[in-house]
Structure 1
Amino acid sequence: MNPMHAMNYNVSPVGYQPQNPSVAQPVGFIAHTDSQYESKIDNLAQKLDLTFQKLNKLDNIESKINSFENKMTAVTKDVNELKKTVHELEKSVKFTSEKLDESEKNNSEIKTKLQSIQTLETTNANLSAQLQKLSCEMNDLNERHVDLQSRSMRDNLIFHGIVETDNENCEDKLKEFIAEKLDIRHTVEFHRVHRMGRRVHEKTRPIIAKFVQFKERELVRKSAFTKLKGEQNRNYGINEQFPREINEKRKLLYPYYKSAKRQQKRAQLIYDKLYIDGELFTPPPQDDTNNPQLDPPTRSGPTESRRLSAAAPTFTPRPRGGGRGGKGQRR
């Protein structure tokens, strides 16, 4: 409200006491009173203006306070969100830290296992080297063993087709065979003579004989090439005795030996080597059906099959006096 309108609403100024209107006042006094009244009215109006200004300022302050409170509310909300985010980050950091610890532990275990693997690889390499060394030694020992067997069988011959009877004397029967079939009339001496393997009904076992003298063995062996020809002697056969390893090699070479003979080539099967026209023959791989040197191997005849299938047993020492006749026969 405008303070200049206070008189219209009978508002009395502070400290003003109205006079009785029925009492006449002097003119000078009235002028002085109006001037004083106006002065007070002006002061009061100024005070009201100041009051309204302060009220406006208070309203502005209240508005700013409300705005500040809203902002603080928003800030508080943001802070809470930040706290929540920080809490989540802390959980994530903790989880990451645990995973890192676990990864470090796993890395440590992996390193330990890698070291173990490296140790095993080193051990395996050492074992492989030792195994290779042992394999070479075994091969060397096997070659020596085969060589010793070959030397012990050097004086031996195997006779096929000599009829087997009960209670026979193998040595006497062999001497009779040599005299009649090979036409060798002088007495041939043997260390041991016996049948090979266990007796099977209706099957003739070969006779193996160890000669006292190598030259007599060679005489008997070479006589077989000329004396055992013909249909009447087709069931007889004489061949050298070799260790099993040598026999297997000879079985592979024998068909090529026969093929070379059919082609009128000069062929020699010596120990485990085949020489054709003076040159060492190497058989082709088993899956190679095209042989550039010889015809494909053919099946051997009955006598040849018996020769190729002859076993190579080792000799066991016998007491003296038991190596001849029926006493030396292996049952």
Structure 2
Amino acid sequence: MPKTPQAAASKRSRPESSSPMSSPPSKQFEDILDSINTKLSSFDARLALVEVLHREFQALRDSLEFSQRQVVELTTENQGLRDEVKSLNKGLTGLTQDNKKMKESILDLQSRSMRDNLVFAGLPERAEEDTEASLRDFMQKEQVKSRGRELRGTDFSVNDQFPKEILDRRRLLFPVRRKLIAEGSRAVITVDRLYVNGQLFRDPAVTPWLY
């Protein structure tokens, strides 16, 4: 049976029914925007964290560079101080050597000035005596030193006059001289030098003034 025009028109005018499970377009658009906003927020948070980490890294690098500069400055300063100490030690060594040379020169001058002086020991003292006359009675000028050996074993002695420091040095050398002579060596003391078989005796423990 053929369709009537009224029936066809009625069919065309009926609205298509939508699926009850589908969402309206506006809702889908909002969901997409929310998702984008969430991702953007997450991205902003990560970007902020990166910026914080970058600032901390920059501060750490600046601190490290500052520490390295300080190390370089301290190393340079330390080297400068070492050079100054080295220079001071060198100068002090030079002053010590110069002082020693000056001291030895003074002692030598004192010894030379006392070269013609003799020290007499063992002569009895008498009240109101003439010392010079007593000495003249005891000695015969030029022969005194050459005949000094004749006084061995007596209470008398005749010795050259020396500064106290030279006498202290000679006291250190006398026992060494006696020992060397007992061993058969020829040992002679001249001022504050000991010569053994013609060679100068040197020993840091006995003759430190020679070093």
Same fold per TM (> 0.5)?
yes
Provide the residue aligned with 1:221 in structure 2: 145
Measured after TM superposition, the shift of residue 151 of structure 1 is 0.8
Distance 1:165 1:40, change over 3 A: farther
Task: Return the offset for 1:153.
Answer: 1.7
Q: Which has the higher contact order (CA 8 A, sep 6+)?
A: 1
Partner of 2:147: helix, strand, or coil? helix
Are 1:258 and 2:178 an aligned pair? yes
Structure 1: unaligned runs, 5 residues or longer = 1-30, 189-215, 287-331
Please state how far the C-alpha of 1:122 moved relative to its aligned partner.
4.3
In the alignment of these two chains, the number of paired residues is 206
The whole-number CA distance in structure 1 between the counterparts of 2:56 and 2:126 is: 95
After superposition, the Cα gap between the structure-2 partners of 1:285 and 1:131, relative to the gap in structure 1 and judged at 3 Å, is: closer
CA distance in 1, matches of 2:80, 2:107: 39
- Measure, in 2, the Cα distance between the counterparts of 1:258 and 1:90: 93
- Give the aligned partner of residue 39 of structure 1: 8
Identity of aligned residues (%): 24
Deviation at 1:74, TM superposition (A): 5.1
Q: 1:85 to 1:220 in 2, by over 3 A?
A: farther
Aligned partner letter, 1:59: S
List gaps (5 residues or longer) in structure 2: 207-211
Match of 2:96 in 1: 135
Contact kept in structure 2, 1:260 and 1:266, CA below 8 Å: yes
Query: For residue 267 of structure 1, what is the amino acid of its counterpart?
Result: A
In the alignment, is residue 236 of structure 1 matched against residue 159 of structure 2? no
Deviation of 1:98 after TM superposition, in Å, equals 3.7
Q: Deviations over 1:211-259 (max 9, x none)?
A: xxxxx3xx32332212332xxx2x4333223334433432332112112
Tell me the alpha carbon deviations over residues 152-184 of structure 1, each in whole angstroms, 9 at most, x when there is no partner: 1211222333445777654444444xx2xxxx4
1:161 aligns with 2:122: yes
Report the counterpart of residue 291 of structure 1 in structure 2. Answer: none
What amino acid sits opposite 2:28 in the alignment?
Answer: I
**2:50 alignment partner, one of 82, 89, 100:** 89
Question: In the alignment, does 2:184 pair up with 1:276?
Answer: no
Q: Distance in 2 between matches of 1:248 and 1:80?
A: 98
Cα distance in 1, alignment partners of residues 127 and 22 from structure 2: 146
CA contact (8 A) 2:151 2:157 kept: no
| 2:22 is aligned with 1:59 | yes
RMSD (Å), alpha carbons: 3.9
Higher helix content, 1 or 2: 2
Bigger Rg over Cα = 1
